[in-house]
Structures are given as C-alpha cells and as structure tokens.
Amino acid sequence: MLRYVLNRVALGLVSLLLLSMMIFVAAQVLPGNPGRIVLGREATPNAVEQFNHALGVDRPLPVRYADWLSDAVRGDFGANYTDGRAVTDDLVPALQRSLFLAVYAFILCIPISILAGVIAALRRGRPTDRAITVTGLSLAVIPEFVLGAILVTLLGPAFLNWFPGIAGALIDASFVTKVDSLFMPALALALVLFGYIARMARAGTMEALDADFTRTATLKGLKQRQVMVRHVLRNGLLPTIAVISTQVGYLFGGIVAIEKLFGYPGIGFLTVTSAQIKNFPMLLACVLVIGVIYFVATLAGDLLTAALNPRVRLARQS
Amino acid sequence: MRYPNEEIENYRRGAGELENELIDEYRAGTLTRKELIQRGSVLGMSIPLLGLLGGTAERAFAAPMAVGQRGGRIRIGTASIDASLEPPLLQTLAAISVTQISGEQLVYADKNAVLRPRLATSWKPSRGGRSWTFQIRRGVRFHDGKPMTADDVVATFRRLLGPDSQAQSSYKGVIDSVRKVGPNAVRFDLEAPNGLFPYLTGQMTYQSIILPRSYKMPTDLSKPGEFTSKMNGTGPFRLKENRGPGGISWEANPTYWGGRPALDEVDMQILDDQARVTALQSGQIDLAVQVTYEGARQLQRAGKKVLPIRVANHRYLNMNVTKEPFNDVRVRQAIALALDRPGLARGLWGQYAEVGNDSPMWPGYPYTAKVPQRKRDLERARALLRAAGKENLKVTLTCYRGFEMADYAQRVSQALRQIGIDCDVKVFTSVQYFDGVSFGANGKLAPWLATDFGIVDYGGRPVPTTYLNAGLKSGGVWNSARYKSKAFDRILANFIGAPDLAGQRKYAKQLQTQLLKDTPVIYAYFYNFIAATGANVRGYVPGGMADINLRGVTIR
C-alpha cells in the first residue's frame, strides 16, 4: 500500500510539473506585454523595455521558468502585474472562500444525492427511478453557469426574491449572511454533481440488494429496515463515498464559472479575471493551486477506494 | 454691503479683456445664463460673481460640503480593476473610478460643464489665453499629513509632461511648460492660445491627480506602487484597506479641506456588469458606478434610482483615409449614409442616447452649431459606391467586447450589406484591443489604432479638445483614421484659441462642416453615462468619466 501511495504521489508531482510547464509556456505565448500593460499605451519603448528587464521577462524562457518554479515551491508566486501586490495576499483569502463554497456545495449535494440514489435503487424500473435518473442525467449535462443563471432568474431578486442575486466578497459578513448569499452558487454546483453521485449510489445499492448476503439476511428473518441499514447501505455506499472525494477536483473546475457569475472573489473568480487582464503571475498561481487540489482530491479518492475495496487493493499489490 | 452693479463694475476694473468681453456678450443678449456661467467658470470668474451677473446668487461650490444625514457606509460596485492604479498611468474606467475617491485635481467640471474650484481656488488667462495662472488652495494636506503646495502641483504636471505619461492625449502639443510663479501660484505656458485649457487640469485628464512631489512612478513590480498601497491624495476619503479582488475600503478624511464628508466609510466591490445590476437589485450594494442600457431597464423595473447623465460619451468609428477603399471619400460617405442613426441610438441605448452627426461636437456643447443632419440614404450611398467603382467591397470592422460595441458593429455590418458591402466583424477582448502603443510612440501599434475600420469608445468630456486633438488632428496620438487635413487643423487651432463663445461657435460650425465633408470618422450617437443607486442614497451625481464624486452624498 505504501508503495502504491508513493507511486501515486510521484506521478502526481510529475503531472503538476507538466501542468506548471504547460501553463507557464501558454501564458508566455499569449499576446500581451507586461511592461505595456502596466505602463500603458503612451509609455516609450525604452521605459517598457526597462520595466520588462526589471521584471526579468526578457530572459530566456527556461531560466524564467526555473526561477518561477523555485519561488513557487516555496510559496512565493510573485506580484500582480496590475498593482504590484503579492499574489499570495489575494490567493489565500480567495482559496479560503472557494473552500467554503465547495464544502457548502457538498453539504447540499451529498445527502440528497445519496438518498435519491437509494430510493431509485429500491424502486428500480418504476417511474420514481426513471424520474431520478433522468433528472440527474439532465442536470449533469447542463453547465454550472447555465444552472446558476437559471437559479438567479428564478430565485433571485428579479422574480421570487428568495436569495441575493450575487454573493460578493462577504467581508466581515456573519455566518448566516454567508450561508444565505452563497446558497445559489452552492446549489448550482450541487445540482451538477447530483446526477453523478445519485447514479453511483443507485448502482451500489442495487448491487448490494442483489448480493447473496442481502438474500441471506432477508431469509434469516431480519426486518427490511435492518437489512437496508446493516447490509445494503453499509456495503452499497462504500464505493459512492470513495467516488465523492474524486469529485472535489471536478467541483473546483465548476467553481471557476460559478464564482465569476456570482461575483464571489474565490480562486475561480481570480483565475478568470487574471486571464482576462493578463495578470500572468496570478493566473499561474491559481491554475497550479487548482491542479494541486485536483491531485490531492483524486489521490484521496483512489486511496479511499483501495482501502474500502480489498479487490482493488490486492490487485494493485499484485 | 455693495450693490450688485457696484460689485460687478469693481470686478470689471481689475478683470482682463476676456472676462470683460464675456460680460458684454451676456449683457448684449448673445449668451444664455447657463452659457455665461459655463464660460465664466473657464475664465476663472467666481461662481458667486457669475450668479450676480446672471441675476441669481449661485451657491459657492468650494464651500464646505453639503451635509445631510451624517454617518454610514456606502457600498459601491465597480468593474474589475484591470490596469494600474498609479495616477500617471491611469487608462481604464475601473481604475479611474477608484483613484478619484482619494485623489483630486485642480478643478472639477460639474454635470453642466461648469468648472468648480478644487485644489485651485481661481485661475486666470493672460497673453490672450496662451498662459494660465492658477492660485493653489492653502491649508490642504495630503492623507499622510504633509501640506499640499504649489511645488507639488508643479511636480505633478512636470511628471505628466514626461515621455511616459498617459496624459499625452490631453497635453501633447498643448502645454509648453509649467512653473511656480508665487508662493501659491502656478503658471502654465501653452504652445498656442487655448480658451478651454482649465478643463484639461480637471477630471477629464484623470491622470492629473495632485500627488506629493516626492511621488515616484513604479519601477519595480515586486512592490505595490505608492498610490496603490497608500492612495496618498488630498481627497475626502483615505484608504483603509486594499483587498485586491476582495475590494477596497476607505474611511472619511476628518481633515478634508472641504469639511469632513457625510459618509463614514466607502466599501467597493469588484463586480461584472450584470453582477452590479443584480447586486443593486438585491440590496447588496448601494451604488453601481455604471450600468448598461439593459441593466438600467432592469433596475428601473425593480424601482431603483437610475441616474443617466447626459454627456459626450460616444463611439468613434474610424476609416483609414490613407488606405483602400477608405481613401476614397465617396466610400466613406456611402458608409456613413448607410446608417440609420436614430434607429441605432434607440436600439442600442433607448432613451439614453442622442443622434450624432459625424463630428465629436456633441449637441450639449454650447458652441455646437446646427448643421444639416446626415440621414440614411441608401440610394445615394449606392450611387456614391458606383461612382467610385467600389460596388462589391469586402471589409472587416473591428471592435472590442464592451458594453454595446459588438452589437453596434453587427448593426453596422447589416446596414452595409444593404448597399452591397460585405462586412465581417472581428471582436477583440479589451486587453487585446489596447495592447500596443499610440501614434507617435515607437513599438507595435495597438489594434484599436492599427485597424483600418474599427470602433472604439471615448468617455464623456466636458470639452471636445481631446476628441479633436488626439482623435482627428494631423498626427494626433489616437487618430486611427489617419486623417490629415490642413484646413481642419487650422480651424481647430482657431476653435481652441477662440477667446469667446461667438468665436468658438463660428469655428465649431466650420469644424462640423469640414468633418461632414471629409467623413474620416462616423459619430453615430452620443450616449448617457448611466449610474444607479438604491433609494437610500441621496445626492449622488455620476461623472461622465466614471469618476466617483461622493462629496455631499448621504446614505440612510
């Protein structure tokens, strides 16, 4: 198991390295000259050149990458092109905001998705099953920002006025205000995940329902409730729980569009904004941090799956 | 107490030729009261005196700020700050809106283009408008506690006259030198007489925020610029915290020269166009700095206060007069004749726009003359193209994604199809469109200037000098039409140097006629700057350049 973990960590680090190279190169080839962006269109070429020299962007690409990487691994992502403030000054609070939103989305999503999956499995082939499956599939294929826009239109100030239309930075806001303001973005993210988690829960539950141990438990006279709780759910939901952890990475992908839509300055908002205004240091830092989150979440999911499923663990060991 | 006439006659004895001419013009009935106040404010005549001349007492603007209900925090929504906040480097609307909260210029042009004293208490022309002397306000302190002096004013303008300044569109070819001529006096010597010069020291040159002479332009990106981190200006609010994308907050400056502001705090959030509208609708912000036409309609339906301000905001649609097919004036005129201006204005901005007539002389300027309005005439347009032998043209129209510009470009493209021109539309992002240098600088020309047929936006300025000097004069830094006309340049010099309104009117008419004839640029419509507030905000008047003026604003 340790070897497996070490292998995965090594592979993950290589993936992150490749990711960082790709985004670094991509950021350099995008049109836009940092000196020109900062000093403006009237600045003389000489001033722009001096500025770029001070910044080091006139050095060879590999040298710049090596410098950036050595700083980045120490947590120093440089300074914003636009205002010279340290990237980490904005990145850390943004990451905290995004994590809050992600946790909120999971809290909304997981109980409902699992419950829907179990109900669908219990009513296999009936209209309830079909309704849950079709709804889940439909929600899974609609992009987060479309769902977000629909929610704003329906639940926001223009129609029902149940929730605030945007989230904003929520500086010094109370917990209740945060929960209220972030309900719609969290719901938009949760709805996309609903279909996938519900389907996993349905499949796992059905497999457990068909299993010999369930038949044995029923034949030995246990009540249906006991069979469900002690045997079906305990066995059927284990893979679902493992799968959920792999969805953290997916969730952070969806957060990019949702945060922008709801004006919530988390890491997704920062990614889009910095790409729009060519604030490369921030863009690189955001993409790398999202990459790390994705890697850690996927690794955790795989480890959990392996830990919960001896067949996977043993197959990997062999 | 003196009688009004005695007061006026006393003033006339000490006044210059230009001021006396203005009073005579008003008394002869050739000026309206509004024009008298507007023009008099440019010449540095005090508002109370102008009120006396006009027959009513005007409130002195520079007196301590109007105070309604005191206290409270105003929450403002503005666009992403996409460029430097350092005043000499200012170039984008979001950055402008932020900096004007802590910073101030010498003068301020109000919504009626009347100049109000700010860091200058008065100003006077000499040498026929070739020199202007400003008296600098005493007792003003920067937010760090140091006094603001004439030396700081001189240092600020010398910095802006440097080669890397973003204020070239205002000052290139205008200011020759600036120097201190007394303990509290600063004199600008100009390259040519300029009757509208004081406006260029106000918010229309948003870079001209007065900074301490010790201020240094940023040279090292690893550190925030001085203004970004401290916002050490003289304005009514001083920086509390700059949280970057998390917003910016300010607190009232208790030692503000105009009196402590009514508001205690200002909190600014970074929100996209639609997010600002939704946030205001939800009551999450109190003021949206600027909203789109669609946003304004949505907010109106929701019962919010929509505040349109009639200004000279416009879209400049250039045609490169040096290059095929636009080097033929008949092609340019045909394109201009294909557009349905009232339809464009109504379709893109509803009641918040007025029809343009292919010159930047906005109908709201007192000197803009009535010349025949160019109207859609498809038959004539087709005939012009036939005469030019350009019947099956293919052109590409560029613009960037911002407000209604892409929609405008599509409508132009559809209109041109009706006269047989196949027009593609290419939409850039704003960063792509402005990535490059202006005319006169060495380096890659920015796409918005390099384009042969393109649309760009110009913010509302109280006088058209930037539109004319930068956008149309031969060699102008923003002259993407590459328009070069000795006749136009001569009329322009006369217009800017005209000492009185009669002269300005005469030359404005000539400018308008010349531009209609040459048609290097299409000015199809002028649109309002639209801000919006909640019902709890009182006294807010939007600025045409997205500048946020919170003096006298109260919140319930």
Query: Where residue A312 falls among pLDDT bands split at 50, 70, 90?
Result: low
State how far residue A70 is from chain B, nearest Cα, in angstroms. Answer: 16
Would the pLDDT of B58 be above 50? Answer: no
Q: What is the mean pLDDT of chain A?
A: 85
B267 touches chain A (CB under 8 A): yes
The percent of residues above 90 in pLDDT, for chain A, comes to: 23
**Nearest-neighbour CA in chain A from B534: distance (Å):** 14
Contacts of B279 in chain A (CB under 8 A): 164-166, 168, 263
Please report where in the chains the tokens 């600002």 appear, as a residue.
B276
- Counting one residue from chain A and one from chain B, the pairs whose CB atoms sit within 8 A come to 183
- Residue B432 touches chain A, beta carbons under 8 Å: yes
Q: Domains of chain B (ranges plus CATH)?
A: 6-61 (no CATH), 104-208 (3.90.76.10), 226-309+529-555 (3.40.190.10), 310-526 (3.10.105.10)
Among A42, A156, A169, whose Cβ lies nearest the Cβ of B164?
A42
Range picked from A146-160, B41-55, B394-408 for highest mean pLDDT: B394-408
What digits encode the pLDDT tens for the residues B518-531?
999 999 999 999 99
Whether residue A164 and residue B222 make contact (CB cut-off 8 A), yes or no, is no
Q: Give per-residue pLDDT as tens, B30-52.
A: 777 777 877 777 777 777 777 77
Which of B85, B271, B437 faces A83 most closely, judged by CB atoms? B85
Give the least confident one: A58-62, B132-136, B425-429. A58-62
> Does residue A259 have a pLDDT over 70?
yes
Of A50, A261, A277, the CB nearest to B82: A277
> Quick check: B538 pLDDT over 50?
yes
Q: Give the phi and the psi of residue B84 in degrees, each rounded to 5.
A: -60, 145
Determine, yes or no, domain membership for A60.
Answer: no
B284:A54 CB<8 A: no
Q: Which two tokens stand for residue B75?
A: 């929450």
With CB atoms and an 8 Å threshold, state whether B441 touches A37. Answer: no
Exposure class string for B285-297: b at 16+ Cβ within 10 A, else e: bbbbbbbbbebbb
Name which of A42, A164, A171 is nearest B247 (Cβ-Cβ): A171
Predicted pLDDT of residue B55? 65
Q: How far apart are CA B10 and CA A198, in angstroms?
A: 88
Q: Is residue A212 part of a domain?
A: yes
Cβ distance B278 to A39 less than 8 Å, yes or no, reads no
What is the per-residue pLDDT across B325-360, written as a single tens digit (0 to 9) for each?
A: 999 999 999 999 999 999 999 999 999 999 999 999
| Structural domain total, chain A | 1
Give pLDDT, residue B164: 72
Rounded to the nearest angstrom, the minimum Cα separation between B239 and chain A is 15
pLDDT in tens, B473-496: 999 999 999 999 999 999 999 999
Domain membership of residue A10 (yes or no) is no
Q: What is the largest CA-CA distance in chain A?
A: 88
| pLDDT score at B135 | 96
Which of the four pLDDT bands, split at 50, 70 and 90, describes residue B273? Answer: confident
Residue in this structure with the two tokens 């300074």, named with its chain if needed: A79
Q: What is the pLDDT of residues A4-25, one digit of tens each?
A: 788 888 888 898 899 889 888 8
Residue with the two structure tokens 């339906």: B301
The Cα of B216 is separated from the nearest Cα of chain A by a number of Å equal to 13
For residue A144, how far is the Cα from the chain centroid?
Answer: 12
Q: A276 and chain B: CB distance < 8 Å anywhere?
A: yes
Specify the pLDDT at position B221: 56
Tell me which of B282, B287, B400 to substitute to probe the interface with A (most A C-beta atoms closer than 10 Å).
B282
B420: helix, strand or coil: coil
Peptide bond into B325 cis (omega under 30): yes
Q: Domain holding A267: CATH number? A: 1.10.3720.10
One-character DSSP codes across chain A: -HHHHHHHHHHHHHHHHHHHHHHHHHHHHSS--HHHHHH-TTS-HHHHHHHHHHHTTTS-HHHHHHHHHHHHTTT---B-TTT--BHHHHHHHHHHHHHHHHHHHHHHHHHHHHHHHHHHHHTTTSHHHHHHHHHHHHHHHS-HHHHHHHHHHHHSTTTT--S-S-----TT--HHHHHHHTHHHHHHHHHHHHHHHHHHHHHHHHHHHHSHHHHHHHHTT--HHHIIIIIIIHHHSHHHHHHHHHHHHHHHHHHHHHHHHTT--SHHHHHHHHHHTT-HHHHHHHHHHHHHHHHHHHHHHHHHHHHH-HHHHHHHH-
Q: Which domain holds residue A256?
A: 92-317
Q: Is B272 helix (H, G, I), strand (E, B) or coil?
A: coil
| pLDDT tens-digit map of B63-102 | 445 555 788 999 999 988 877 888 988 887 888 889 999 9
Q: Do A265 and B246 touch (CB under 8 A)?
A: yes
The phi, psi pair for A138, rounded to 5°, reads: -60, -45
d(Cα B331, Cα B334) in Å, to the nearest integer?
A: 5
Give the percent of chain B with pLDDT over 70: 95
pLDDT of B441 above 80: no
In this complex, is the C-beta atom of A56 within 8 Å of any C-beta atom belonging to chain B?
Answer: no
What's the mean pLDDT in A147-159?
87
Q: Do A31 and B91 touch (CB under 8 A)?
A: no
A13 vs A168: CA distance, rounded Å: 34
**Shortest alpha-carbon distance between residue B224 and chain A (Å):** 4
CB nearest to B438's CB, from A41, A81, A90: A41
The answer to whether B55 touches B109, Cβ cutoff 8 Å, is no
Give the per-residue pLDDT at B369.
94
Of B243, B281, B434, which has the smallest distance from its Cβ to A165's Cβ? B281
Cα B368 to Cα B510: distance, rounded to the nearest angstrom: 10
In degrees, rounded to 5, the angle at the alpha carbon of residue B34 between the alpha carbons of residues B29 and B39 is 85
Q: Please indicate, yes or no, if residue A174 is contained in any of the structural domains.
A: yes
Residue linked to tokens 């937010």: B143
Q: Confirm whether A264 is domain-assigned.
A: yes
Smallest CA–CA distance, residue B398 to chain A, in Å, is 17
Contact B438 A31 (CB under 8 A): no
Name the minimum distance, in Å, from the CA of B446 to any CA of chain A: 8
What are the tens digits of pLDDT across the range A97-124?
Answer: 999 999 999 999 999 999 999 999 999 8
Strands B107-109, B305-319: parallel, antiparallel or unpaired by DSSP? Answer: unpaired
ipTM: 0.72
Contact list in B for residue A47 (CB cut-off 8 A) is 163-164
Cβ-Cβ contacts under 8 Å, A80 against chain B: 244
pLDDT surpassing 60 at residue B3: no
Inter-chain residue contact A171 with B246, CB threshold 8 Å:
yes
Judged by a CB distance cut-off of 8 A, whether residue B91 touches chain A is yes
Mean pLDDT within B297-309: 92
pLDDT tops 70 at residue B5? no
**Residue A155 placed within a domain:** yes
Answer yes or no: do A40 and B83 touch at CB < 8 A.
yes
From chain B, the residues in CB contact with A265 under 8 A are: 245-247, 270
What's this model's pTM, rounded to 2 decimal places? 0.80
- The reply to whether residue A169 touches residue B284, judged by beta carbons under 8 angstroms, is no
Closest partner residue to B89 (CB to CB) among A33, A39, A171 is: A39
Whether B83 sits inside 8 A of A82 (CB atoms) is yes
Which phi and psi (to 5°) does residue A153 adopt? Answer: -65, -40
Local structure of residue B83 (DSSP, 8 states):
S
Residue B506 scores a pLDDT above 70: yes
Best interface-test mutation with B: which of A29, A39, A71 has the largest number of B CBs within 10 A? A39
Which tens digits make up the pLDDT trace of B202-257?
999 999 999 999 998 876 655 678 898 899 999 999 999 998 888 999 999 999 99
Q: Which amino acid is at B524?
A: A
For residue B495, give the H/E element and its range: helix B486-497
Do A164 and B282 make contact, defined as CB atoms within 8 angstroms?
A: yes
Mean pLDDT on B7-29: 73
Rounded Cα gap, residues B101 and B237, in angstroms: 6
Q: Is residue A311 part of a domain?
A: yes
Is A12 at the interface with chain B, CB within 8 A? no
Nearest CB neighbour to B223, from listed A50, A84, A93:
A84
Residue A28 lies in a domain: no
Q: What are residue B305's DSSP bridge partners?
A: B533
CA distances from A87 to A76, A78, B96, B221, B349 (A): 8, 6, 22, 12, 39
Q: Alpha-carbon distance A86 to A79, whole Å?
A: 4
The residue length of chain B stands at 556
Contact residues, A window 22-51, toward B, CB-based 8 Å cutoff = 31-34, 36-45, 47-48, 50-51
